[in-house]
Amino acid sequence: MKLRQLGNSEMQVAPLMFGGNVFGWTADTATSFSILDAFVGHGFNFIDTADVYARWVPGNHGGESETVLGEWFARSGKRDEVVLATKVGMDLGDGKKGLAGKYILEAAEASLRRLKTDYIDLYQSHVDDATVPLDETLRAYQKLIEQGKVRMIGASNYTGARLREAVELAKREGLPVYQTLQPHYNLYDRQGFEQDQQPVALELGIGVVPYFSLASGFLTGKYKTKEDSAGANRESRVAKYFDERGMKILAALEEVSKETGAKIATISLAWLMAQPTILAPIASATSVAQLEDLVAAPNLTLSEDALAKLTAASAY
Question: Which positions are catalytic?
Answer: 53
The answer to whether the CB of 52 falls within 8 A of the CB of 92 is yes
Q: Measured at the alpha carbon of residue 77, what is the angle toward residues 71 and 82, in degrees to the nearest 5?
A: 90
- With 0-12 / 13-18 / 19 or more C-beta atoms within 10 angstroms meaning exposed / middle / buried, residue 246 is buried
The answer to whether the CB of 55 falls within 8 A of the CB of 92 is yes
Q: Is the peptide bond before 50 cis (omega within 30 degrees of 0)?
A: no
What Cα–Cα distance (Å) separates residue 151 from each residue in 69, 70, 98, 195, 240?
A: 18, 18, 21, 30, 38
Q: Strands (DSSP E) along the chain, which ranges?
A: 4-5, 12-13, 17-19, 46-48, 83-88, 120-125, 150-156, 178-182, 207-208, 282-283
- Report CA torsion sign: 101, 103, 105, 107: negative
Buried b (16+ CB within 10 A) or exposed e, 26-39: bbeeebbbebbebb
Q: Which residues pair with 12 in a beta bridge?
A: 5
Cα atoms in the 13 Å half-sphere on the side-chain side of 157: 11
**CA-closest candidate to residue 235, choices 212, 248, 216:** 216
Count of all residues that appear for the chain in the document: 316
